[in-house]
């Protein structure tokens, strides 16, 4: 007798599920992330004068994202 299959919320059977692809980070990118946040403490330092300045944080993140691709 075959074993029962469970069905997830999307209606796929366990055997049909695929592992989601995980983004790959190269060592150079990881180092760039570390350096970026070390140089921009306004993202985590509550006492930084620009900590609450969301537009500045967003602009820095966009610029960083454009640089690393």
In tens, the pLDDT along 27-47 reads 999 999 999 999 999 999 999
In tens, the pLDDT along 43-67 reads 999 999 999 999 999 999 999 999 9
Name the residue ranges covered by the structural domains of the chain. Answer: 34-69
Select from 31, 38, 40, 43 the least CA-distant residue to 68. Answer: 31
Q: For residues 54 and 63, what is the distance between their CA atoms, to the nearest angstrom? A: 14
Query: HEC states along the chain?
Result: CCCCCCECCCCCEHHHCCCCCCCCCCHHHHHHHHHHHHHCHHHCCCCCCCCCCHHHHHHHHHHHHHHHC
Is the pLDDT assigned to residue 10 strictly greater than 70?
no
């Amino acid at each position: 007798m075959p074993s029962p299959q469970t069905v997830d919320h999307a209606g796929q059977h366990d055997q049909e599920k695929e592992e989601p692809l995980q983004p790959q980070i190269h060592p150079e990118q990881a180092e760039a992330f570390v350096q970026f946040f070390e140089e921009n403490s306004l993202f985590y330092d509550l006492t930084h004068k620009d900590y609450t300045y969301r537009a500045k944080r967003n602009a820095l993140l966009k610029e960083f994202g454009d640089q690393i691709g």
